[in-house]
Structure 1
Amino acid sequence: MDAIEAITTDQLQTLDGIQLSLKTLRKEYQKEEESAKSEFESQMRNKLDSLHQLIVESREDIINNLSCAQKPAEAEEIAHAIREAQEAVEELDFGEEVEPMDTGADGKEVIPELVEDEDAEDDNEAQRENQENVDDGEERERSAGDDAEHEENADDEGERSVDNDAEYEENVDEEDERASSPENDEELEENAEEEEEQDARNNAVEEEPLPQQNDEDDDADDAAPENRIRIIGGRIRSLEQAVLNFDTLIRQLQEEPTCPPRRRHHGRISREQERFMRCAFCGVAGEHYSDSCTEVVTARDRRDSVVAQDRCEMCLERFCAQDETCSKYYTKCYHCRRQGHHSALCTFPEHSDDVRSRIERARRARQDCLNTLHHLRYEWFSLQNLV
């Protein structure tokens, strides 16, 4: 018996040593996996940063090229303005000889043109004074005549107002008589019919084609196809770039890792020994596994439920130490193939569903761009044939 106990003790110690070595190997493997993952993420971030920087630089180059393309036109306008200024300077005559100036009685120089201008100004002042006197007399005569006319007009207006009042009273009496007569109804009906006919004629006139436009409108119509071609060309280039962008986006999304979706309606319990197993989220017994629960769907809600019930995230049991002693500590997730959480709490299926939906939306948008591009190219070729 002592020998058997000694052998058993040795075997147990050996198994403990093997278990410790396995745990050490698992930890080292996890560390290597995490380091490789972090290195991969850092490389991807660096590549994305370099791609973003390249896009910014290419955008700046395009803006600079466009500005350089506009500069020759501005330089040509400046050169044209300089040529016009030079021609204006050449037209000036600087070769006239300067005549000697006269001297007045006080010995100062007198400019003949200034003397003539002063004499002309004196004559003009005398003429203005005479004209002002004549204008004053005419204004007095006109004011007297206006007063007389104003009095006559006031008398005439008083007489006309009396006559108008009398005529207004007569018209009112006649209208009252016509309104009370049966003939008035017939006249109203005839007027209504005439108004309807007039409206119909007006509508017909409005629906008639417009007359031929002038020459300026014809020139605008001739230039319209060229402008339309230019606009369509810009839209075609934009749509082609959009198609390329969608291709890049779809390719990047397809390169992301994904997993199959959750099979919520295929998680029925079929084993006899599991018929009393309860769902960790909705509490129903013997109907479905926790991963296939349709009451609590999202991983975030499930994690909140686990925390609220104080359950283990690896085995979903309540009375668990939640450490290496857990029975599911080394069990890998069915979806992401990682340890540390139950398959029902994994967020990878939701991420995969989001990636698939984004790919589908990008494909639909790309197809819409291709359809629009096809129609625009057809219109562009048609306008080219017209021009």
Structure 2
Amino acid sequence: MSGIYIHIPFCKQACHYCDFHFSTSMKKKDEMVLALAKEIAMRKNEFINETVETIYFGGGTPSVLTNDEINFLLSEVYKNYKVVEHPEITLEANPDDLSSDRISELSNTLINRLSIGIQSFFEDDLQLMNRAHNADEAKKCLETATKYFDNVSIDLIYGIPGMSNEKWQQNIQTALDFGIPHISSYALTVEPKTALKKLIQTGKIAQPKDEVAEAHFMILVDTLQKNGFIHYELSNFGKSDYFSKNNSAYWLGKKYMGIGPSAHSYNGISRSWNVANNSLYLKTIEKKELPSEVEVLTVEDRYNEYIMTGLRTIWGVSLERIASEFGVTYLEYLQKQAQKFLEDELLFIENNILKPTLKGKFLTDGIASDLFILN
């Protein structure tokens, strides 16, 4: 089984923390939709022996597309690829795009999962992050979305400067009150070349504190687990049968194809990525060429990726797989590097599977990097 990711590189406005590829100008949207369709058709031979299980509209803000544009792109996928009978088809959306009428219309398309960028239910947080929606829109869209869609996921951000533990708990509780079956939650991260970085440097916004983010993370894990959510990936929590099939495929090493500017693809042997430039992407596709670079993964690369993705998930890192796929030398290296984290109770081994403890989960990325083999 494989997945197709379609990157929609447009947003109404730029969030202060975002470093994804997008444009706030919609002038080339029509041209971009046609180019995405062309790339979908051009690459069909890459998946000639694959069956598509998930289709994911990411961005950017995919909800800026009209229903006709969504249906057009989906028809191109179905025309050129083998698709399972009941695929997971996700649309990332912002609350300001999800009026009651729009949600009703979307329910009549093939979209069967909404991933809504709420981020916070508080006005001051949304303004600090320069979100395009307000708190009232966030709540109203969920009232309607949960009536029309069974499978709804929301994004929430923690560790925001000025956010108390009590305020964060209210954010989580509001989500629970809507009966949302899946929550993706991330610490506010200061990325280079973002507006947030500049605002912090000029003293207009306080620097996010790691200890605050860690406290929020622990509250999140505890509250959601008490409410029947499974913490199946570091930033993802789902009720049973509501895990994101698209994202799970990434973490489990399945093949995926990324369509659109800046989109990444993986075929088990190599990784490729399209140019992160809308104009250059359009010009290249017009010439019936793929605007991508390819990196063939070394054994060390594949080992490192398995360590990173494995530790982030409930499936952990199989020591048996390390030995069979990479060899005894890799297993011995992993065991040696992991020893200090086992002693500090940040990692543990159960049924020959290496996993982070609750205390270690918040530190997973740093721990993983210490287990990597450097090329």
TM-score by length of 1: 0.15
Larger radius of gyration: 1
**Larger strand proportion, structure 1 or 2?**
2
TM-score by length of 2: 0.15
**Larger helix proportion, structure 1 or 2?**
1
